[in-house]
Chains A and B, each alone.
Chain A
Amino acid sequence: MDLTEFAEQVGPSGRVSVRGRSTRTVRRVDGVTIDRVVSAPSGIVEYHPDEMTITCGAGTTLGEVRQITADRGQFVALPGSGTVGGALAVGRSGIDRLGVGPVRDTLLQATFVNHCGQLVNVGGPTVKNVSGFDVARLLVGSFGRLGFIAQVILRTRPIPTASSWFVVDADWTRVTELQSALYRPAALLWNGQRLAIRLDGHPDDIAANAARFGLTALDGPPIDADGTLYRWSVAPADVPAVIGSAGQQVWAEVGVGIVHHVMPQPDRRATLNHIEVRLVDEFDPQRRLNPDVVFPQ
């Protein structure tokens, strides 16, 4: 399937829902009739390791992207399994956000299908671009409510020479000391007693830091990298309070503010603000794109 066919499937009318591999938790509204379920084109279109860019259909699996980029010593900072489009539309970052940045910074250009069934290009093909408004940023985490992502250009990064997990006993004071002292750790996960640390870089630097700060080697991350529990998004300074009141063991991303929790986060916004309403009015006046998806969520 090419881009035009995908656009035709979405078309100018009817209630349409887009699916990737359904590997991510997406809350849906019961009882909404959907006329068509569509899936974005898949496949790598172009890969330029020396440009640090890869072009692929939104339906391409992350596994395929990982394989082709790993062959050239690179990766794309999109977490989990499933598809590229799914990772972008949901927009949740991985547990190494501290090191690799948020999902939104991975997307350079997107071609999406709008509510009229037309293909729209936003962003640009180069790693640096300020030509026009940054509409691509809006698609990340939009759950398909502004349009369905068809094809993207993503930024790739070099795979670090070495990457190792460690653990150390730490109260919050010790956590903040290590947070200040370590140079750009890739991940810091804290459960109230122990701090798990991922260090990326040159093996000698990793070994020197492990020795200097008394870190013990760990086989891998203490939680599933995809984060199967509820995610809370809080100001990083609020992490100790959230951990303290959790009642059970939960892990928090220190310096980021994601808490992998056992309960859903209270007090999340259920309605759109007035700018968002106007955005949806502009991008999908008939509310026909993913009307079954709860947004915001």
Chain B
Amino acid sequence: MTRRADDFHAELARGVADIHRNPVEVALFDHDASTISGRAGVVVYPTSADEVIHVVRTCHRHDRPFVARGAGTGLAGGATPLDGAVVICLTKMNRVLSVDPINRFAWVEPGVLNLDLSRQMTALGHDLHFAPDPSSQQSCTVGGNVANNSGGPHCLADGVTSAHVLGLEVVLSDGQVVVLGGEEPEPDGFDLRGAFVGSEGMFGIATKVCVRLTQNPPTVRTMLLDFTSVRDGADTVSAIIASGMVPAALEMMDALCIKAVEEYVHAGLPLDAAAVLLVEVTGLVSDVTAQAERVAEIGRRLHARTVRVARDEAERALLWKGRKSAFGAVARIKPNYYLHDTVVPRRHLPDVLDEIYRIVDRHELLVLNVFHAGDGNLHPLLVFDKREPGILERVHAAGEEIVKASVAAGGVLSGEHGIGLEKRDYMSLMFSEIDLAAQAAVRCAFDPSGLANPFKVLPSPASCGDIQHVPEGAWI
């Protein structure tokens, strides 16, 4: 250990109590939930904004990169530290600070778990919830949701995280504290709040988040429609939207996924269907009844074999359990999976799905599709056994082709997982150098030092403090 490193660690320890340097412990933070591994330096668990400020200031003084991390459920390597970066783990800053149930917002710390926030509202007697509901909502944090601008099945009608964040208290990379946005609707100046949401930890660290809370719907109807062709299912999705409805959720599963889920949760899914659609309409009773009727009518016109309406909360929960446990169910097929996340215009869903099946066949792999059909957000799940020689190369090659096919169809690289390291080098599929320079410019404005989570999102770190080289220890 060099003198400089000792100085750095001693200085860190002066202002943050919970600090970990044991190599075995630190190694646990080498990666997030993606397959991309890096190398963590020291890990700190601040319990207050003051501790975060101290850590960031110390990093700034010593020119050390740092990575903010929540629960580490990210799938794009966004929270994977490189080159021994300091990991600032925010899970111990997990208090709900204040709630305004009338105007429907709350100030929370970044480590509050997504689902816990909604559960706390219920426990406090408020008929409110936090709308973004990623599949990892039991374990992911609000801070992580802010960093990734997370989505979820119910974002079709209610919008992604950006629409549910009113304000932020942020520690910038030099340790300065700024408040972006706030409780008032039209703060003067640029919408720095909007730019910060989805910045993947590269603009600073949010230490407080003002989240918008959403009224729980008085009536909910959940339906399952099944089809003998994926195309009929996808056409039904488009027809529902075109008819003037935006259901609360519109989710699709394909045949292999149906089989895996049914064997896992026994939700009564039809095993001979090519696709099932899970449709949820919410609101006031007359509206919900009318919408449910129209959904059923459209489905039948487009060859749905059955339209099953959940009779009670138990059946609704069972149908959702099927959807949300798809990732657990795949373990019954193969021990490993690689989950992709692209978006295509809804009208191209059937063609892109066909293309995905062809890609996967070519690489002799298996794919399950379970996705947010309403907003065209595909989640092809490649399942494999990593002990098979050469399989990872095939999984990555197929993944790259899937991403390219989605962008070629007029889609985008990611709907909710973010870019991180995983898709950093694909950014030029969607953006020109001039486009990317504009994104880099915003990064520079927030973090001129380039110390906040470097090497992520932008493919050629040509500006600010980033140095152009292949990150040491990165395995993509």
Contact = CB atoms under 8 A, between A and B. Distances in A.
Interface of A: 48-53, 72-74, 91-93, 97, 101-102, 104-105, 114, 118-122, 124-135, 137-138, 140-142, 146, 157-159, 161, 176, 179-180, 183-184, 201-205, 208-209, 231, 233-237, 253, 255-258, 268-269, 272-273, 275-276, 278-279, 281-283, 295-297
How many chain B residues sit at the interface, stated as a range, is 35 or more
A126 B375 contact: yes
A50 B347 contact: yes
A82 B126 CA distance: 41
A124 B418 CA distance: 13
A117 to B, nearest CB: 11
A114 B441 CA distance: 12
B284 A237 contact: no
Interface stretch (B42-50, B179-187, B332-340): B179-187
14 contacts: A101-B159, A122-B438, A126-B412, A130-B151, A130-B417, A131-B423, A132-B439, A135-B442, A137-B162, A137-B197, A141-B191, A183-B218, A202-B284, A268-B188
B198 A142 contact: no
Contacts of A130: 148-149, 151, 160, 198, 414-419
Interface in B397-432: 410-419, 423, 427, 430-432
A275 B445 contact: yes
Contact of A133 (B159, B442, B448): B442
B442 A273 contact: no
B427 A184 contact: no
Contacts of A180: 101-102
Interface string B436-455: 10110111111010000000
A55 B187 CA distance: 28
Interface string B167-180: 00000100000100
Nearest to A72: B242
Contact of B246 (A114, A157, A297): A157
B287 A258 contact: no
B150 to A, nearest CB: 8
B103 A134 contact: no
B103 A255 contact: yes
B183 A237 contact: yes
Contacts of B419: 130-132
B318 interface: no
Given A51-B376, A256-B185, 16 more contacts: A91-B186, A93-B185, A104-B194, A125-B411, A132-B430, A134-B195, A138-B192, A141-B191, A176-B102, A201-B284, A233-B184, A233-B185, A255-B102, A278-B444, A282-B444, A295-B189
Nearest to B200: A133
A281 B190 CA distance: 14
Contact of B434 (A51, A118, A295): A118
Contacts of B372: 128
A104 B55 CA distance: 34
